[in-house]
Amino acid sequence: MDCIFCKIIKGEIPSKTLYEDDLVKVIMDVNPVSDGHVLVIPKKHYTDYLELDEDILKHIYAIAKDLGVKFMNKLQAKSLTLLVNYGDAQQVKHFHLHLIPEFNLHDNKTLKSLDEVYDILSK
C-alpha cells in the first residue's frame, strides 16, 4: 500500500508524534494552517469515515477531546476546529481528524516553526 499515513504509522516516514497508543497516532501536520494543527490518525487503514466502526470513532474523539483542550491551553488558543475531509477534499485517503487551534481572528501573526510548536506541545 502506498499510503503516506500507513508509512508514518510503521515508522518508515518520520513524524513529530505527540501521542500514540495501540489504536491511534497523533502527529503535527507538516502543512499547518495554524500553530498546533495536529492530526489524529487511526493505525488501522480506513479510507474514510464511512469505514470506521463505532469503537474506533469513539476512541478518536476521546483522544481529540483530551488533547484538544490541553493543546489549546498550552498555546493559549481561543477556539478549536475539528475537521474531517471526505471525497475530493480528502487529499490523503486514510481517515484522519484535524485538530486546528484558532487564535485571535484579527491578529495576522505568522506561524511558528513546527519544531517550536512541537516543543511547546510535547512538554
Q: Give me the residues paired with residue 82 across strands.
A: 99
Answer yes or no: 45 catalytic. no
Q: Give me the residues paired with residue 41 across strands.
A: 25
Cβ(76)–Cβ(36) under 8 Å? no
DSSP string, 50-100: GG--HHHHHHHHHHHHHHHHHHHHHHT-SEEEEE---GGG-SSSS--EEEE
Catalytic position from the list 37, 45, 94, 96: 96
Q: Which residues are catalytic?
A: 96
